[in-house]
Amino acid sequence: MLVVPDAVGTGEISVPHDSASVREARSRVQDDLARRGVDDDVVDVSVLVLSEMVSNALKHARPLPDGKVRVSWALEDGRLALQVTDGGGVTRPRLQQQSATSAGGRGLGVVRRLSADWGVREQGPETTVWAVIDLDARTVRRSSDRS
């Protein structure tokens, strides 16, 4: 588990293992980050990364025993840690090489591109995909300029 000690702000929600949950998770995290004064550009990047992580869990993994997926976030030292935990899938989440015409398979590539760091942790039947976002808006803009 990615633990952010002495976090300035943390949150956790459990959402149903259903496609509508992507919107719910985005909204909750977006509202919390905005309330804490996080830069709008960073909020936008963060909820995009979160959306890809939640979508990946819903598409490729089983729910947790309670039928849900757990989303958590923590702010500390100029960084945002995001985590999405599910009931695991047939395969471990991994980056995929996609052709320009592929219809899907880009989610974790987006997570990797927009995050300072990311990874996958498996503990028992649970799988957690985590990402760390720098809260410095200038860093986000520089990353966007490279595309």
Residue-wise pLDDT tens digits, 30-62: 999 999 888 999 999 999 999 999 999 999 999
The DSSP output letter for 14 is E
Quick: pLDDT tens for 6-18: 446 789 999 999 9
CB atoms within 10 A of CB 122: 11
Give domain status of residue 25, yes or no: yes
pLDDT at 2: 36
How far, in Å, CA of 59 to CA of 81, rounded? 22
Give domain status of residue 119, yes or no: no
Q: Which residue has the tokens 């980050």?
A: 33
Q: At what angle do helices 40-60 and 107-114 cross, to 10 degrees?
A: 150
pLDDT at 98: 55
Give domain status of residue 65, yes or no: yes
Helix (H) or strand (E) holding 21: helix 20-35
74 is in which domain, residue-wise? 9-91+131-145
Any bridge partners for residue 134, and if so which? 79
Give domain status of residue 120, yes or no: no
Give domain status of residue 121, yes or no: no
Give domain status of residue 103, yes or no: no
Number of domains in the chain: 1
Q: Look at residue 72 and give its three-state secondary structure.
A: strand
Looking up residue 80, the CATH number of its domain turns out to be: 3.30.565.10
Give domain status of residue 42, yes or no: yes
Give domain status of residue 115, yes or no: no
Quick: pLDDT tens for 66-100: 999 999 999 988 899 999 999 998 776 555 665 44
pLDDT of 3 > 50? The answer is no
